[in-house]
Structure 1
Amino acid sequence: MVPVRVHGVALLPPDETPVMLLREITGERRWLPIAIGAPEATALVAACQQVVHSRPDTIELIGQVIEVFGHVERVEVTALDSGVFFSDLVLGDGVRVSARPSDAVAIGVRAGVPLEVDEAVLAVASTTFELADDDVEQQIADFRVELDYVSPEDFGDPPTG
């Protein structure tokens, strides 16, 4: 498993599709874009900004329920099959709960736990994109343009194993 962090959420034209951007922490520093829904994007941004609602939203509620019965140890993006990403919440005692990556990552961010992606997923679904300090905004804009032309077929065969 490769450690990643949430870099943010981008809205991709023409229909403003939200994309969760995960980035490898060390090594090749690859980017993993995962398309998510608008409500999930809102929940993820709130989690990243540590927004506390007067009444818990769904992600906060799930996090609170998990805390009552144990704890989240880490989040793993485990597979990519036919353009669909899969992930697990890894709880205490190695218990795994399957979840959509957007939900799992938001819960993991709220819990402050490590986020990891299977190397096989990164091998077929990630991209490298270097950010130079002198022109970061332009490079991010260029990266978003590249994402406009990405389709599930561009990622090749799903990982095996």
Structure 2
Amino acid sequence: MSVQMELHKIIISEMQDQQIIVLKEVDGERKFPIVIGSGEAYAIDRRLKGIVHPRPLTHDLLASVIEAMGGVIDRIEINNLQDHTFFARIHIRQNGSVHKVDSRPSDAIALGVATSVPIYVAEHVLGEVS
């Protein structure tokens, strides 16, 4: 079973290579951080602020490809945690089918944050980070 979460906070430090996002339970109090790279943090931040570049950046390109192929991002699911590494899937609905694509959580969130795609975290992952 998965629990719906939301992007609660993004912490960007220009002095560090690694940045932090914090996910918080939508209907509860549980929250946890995920360490991500600077590129993904800046991509999430840009998309949250609605900053559009003259040419598509990587996450914009991927969103355009999904849309051009008739797909819609249905949800993001952080489905596993192994050796301090989070794993995620992007659920893409296309022609009545759902395709689950393996992804880093930071890339999935950067892709989905601009279009308010819901984020879910598997209950066993929440149990491990609590």
Question: TM-score normalized by structure 2?
Answer: 0.88
Structure 1 counterpart of 2:101, from 97, 100, 107:
97
Shift, 1:16, TM fit = 6.0
Would you say 1:68 and 2:72 are equivalent positions? no
Could you tell me which amino acid in structure 2 is paired with residue 79 of structure 1? N
- Aligned residues between the structures: 125
2:26 and 2:57 mapped to 1: Cα distance?
Answer: 29
Contact 2:4 2:120 in 1 (8 A): yes
Q: For residues 11-160 of structure 1, what are the structure 2 equivalents within 5 Å?
A: 11=12, 15=16, 17-27=18-28, 29-69=29-69, 70-92=71-93, 93-126=97-130
- List gaps (5 residues or longer) in structure 1: 127-161
Q: Any conservation in 2 of the 1:60–1:110 contact (CA below 8 Å)?
A: no
| Residue 2, structure 1, aligned to residue 6, structure 2 | no
Over the aligned positions, Cα root-mean-square deviation in angstroms equals 1.8
CA deviation digits over 1:4-41, x for unaligned, max 9? Answer: 111221247x84630111111112x2112000001110
Greater helix share, 1 or 2? Answer: 1
- Show CA shifts across 1:71-130 (max 9, x none): 11000000000000000000111210001100001111123211111111111114xxxx
Fraction of identical pairs, as percent: 35
Q: 2:114 aligns to what SS in structure 1?
A: helix
- For the residue of structure 1 that corresponds to 2:55, the secondary structure is coil
Distance 1:15 1:54 in 2: 28
Amino acid across the alignment from 2:39: P
TM-score normalised by L of structure 1: 0.72
Larger-gyration structure (1/2): 1
Is the strand fraction higher in 1 or 2?
A: 2
